[in-house]
Amino acid sequence: MTAARPLSIPLSDGAKPAAIPALGFGTSPMTGGMSADSVLTALKVGYRHIDTGRKYGTEAAVGEAMRASGLKRDDIFLVTKVSHENLRSTDFARSLDQSLAALKVDYLDLLMIHWPNPAIPLSEAMPALAKAKRDGLARHIGVANFNTTLLDEAVRLCPEPLSVLQAEYHPFLDQSRLLAGVRKHGLAFVAYCPLARGRLFDNAVLQDIAKTRGRSIAQIALRWLIQQDVAAIPFSSNPQRIADNFDVFDFELSDAEMARISALKSTGLRIANPVERVTGGWD
Ligand SMILES: NC(=O)c1ccc[n+]([C@@H]2O[C@H](COP(=O)([O-])OP(=O)(O)OC[C@H]3O[C@@H](n4cnc5c(N)ncnc54)[C@H](OP(=O)(O)O)[C@@H]3O)[C@@H](O)[C@H]2O)c1
């Protein structure tokens, strides 16, 4: 079956919006800046899920683009994150206020802890995150860069239900264990670095599938994620590539193609790896 319309992934915490758009726009540039123009291009192309973080320094540009787009606030699924050094309750509340002020919005669709911090117990961080939801400042809450053990702990200690885990995921990284851990709790998985920051592009298997399909390698990699019901948030500074990356809803990879791409996980490439912030290592 071919899906021509953008897909969404259900969120199971009972809050509205009840789903997260499967293709989002990342706003953390690796080098240089990220302009409001790129976000505006993404919104014009059809992206309705924008991923930022206090740490990225891109919240003001995201807010500017949202206003320039003419879209209603409710039309956009807006995500930001609180950095690992701000997980104590007072710092957390201050960081959240700064995010809302920079974005010039009065609520977030999803607020996440950006990285765990072994120096700040989850017994303090999770209630601080839950308070944002109880205060109506975040419709959904989630965590990023938690391994399965930390996720179990976070779910147990959070006074409000979590709805999303965000982590690195692309064809060169095996995330099957983390994916199973996320699904066990009924959470949605959002994949960052879905294009492995460009390192996928000279892979022969992906080139072969892309050629057969008449699609770009980026589209194949993104389609591989969303066909696992995983959301993806690629970044690009290039208007043509921003559009290309969103054009993944009118074709479907076969089971054999999915399996060929999944077999690339033996590459074992992890890009974002500040392990000192993560207790217990990765899955
Ligand atoms: N939670 C976390 O800790 C965390 C960590 C990392 C990232 N993230 C989020 O995930 C987002 C995406 O990750 P990422 O930006 O690191 O990596 P990515 O999306 O995998 O790759 C972005 C890179 O790929 C290039 N690119 C994009 N589309 C392309 C295409 N169709 N063809 C060729 N090249 C293409 C871009 O270059 P051009 O600009 O030249 O197109 C850019 O250099 C971030 O922006 C951020 O929002 C979250």
pLDDT tens-digit readout, 79-99: 999 999 999 999 999 999 999
**Of 47, 56, 169, 192, which one is the catalytic site residue?**
56
Predicted TM-score of the model (pTM): 0.97
| Nearest residue to 194 via CA among 79, 25, 55 | 25
Residue 5 confidence (pLDDT): 80
Q: How far apart are CA 21 and CA 209, in angstroms?
A: 25
Residue minimizing CA distance to atom 36 of ligand 1:
236
**Mutate which of 23, 47, 193 for ligand 1 pocket (most atoms within 8 A of beta carbon):** 193
Task: State the distance from the centre of ligand 1 to the C-alpha of 254, rounded, in angstroms.
Answer: 25
What's the average model confidence in pLDDT over 56-68? 96
Q: Is the CB of 26 under 6 A from ligand 1?
A: yes
**Mutate which of 23, 27, 28, 206 for ligand 1 pocket (most atoms within 8 A of beta carbon):** 28
Task: State the distance from the centre of ligand 1 to the C-alpha of 25, rounded, in angstroms.
Answer: 9
18-268: CATH topology: TIM Barrel (3.20.20)
Confidence band for 6, pLDDT divided at 50, 70 and 90: confident
Structure tokens at 156: 């147990």
Q: Is the CB of 25 under 6 A from ligand 1?
A: no
Contacts of 113 (CB under 8 A, 6+ apart): 81, 82, 84, 87, 125, 129, 142, 143, 144, 146, 154
Give percent above pLDDT 90 in the chain.
91
Whether the CB-CB separation of 7 and 249 falls below 8 Å is answered with yes
What's the average model confidence in pLDDT over 199-214? 98
> CA torsion angle for 226, 232, 237, 238 (degrees, to 10)?
0
Confidence band for 1, pLDDT divided at 50, 70 and 90: very low
Q: How far apart are CA 240 and CA 103, in angstroms?
A: 26
Q: Does residue 56 carry a catalytic annotation?
A: yes
What's the average model confidence in pLDDT over 67-71? 98
Give percent above pLDDT 70 in the chain.
95
Whether the CB-CB separation of 23 and 79 falls below 8 Å is answered with no
Query: Torsions phi, psi of 198, nearest 5?
Result: 90, -5
Residue 2 confidence (pLDDT): 46
Q: How far apart are CA 108 and CA 140, in angstroms?
A: 8
Query: Torsions phi, psi of 23, nearest 5?
Result: -120, 120
Q: How far apart are CA 5 and CA 223, in angstroms?
A: 13
More confident residue, 5 or 217: 217
Q: Is the CB of 41 under 6 A from ligand 1?
A: no
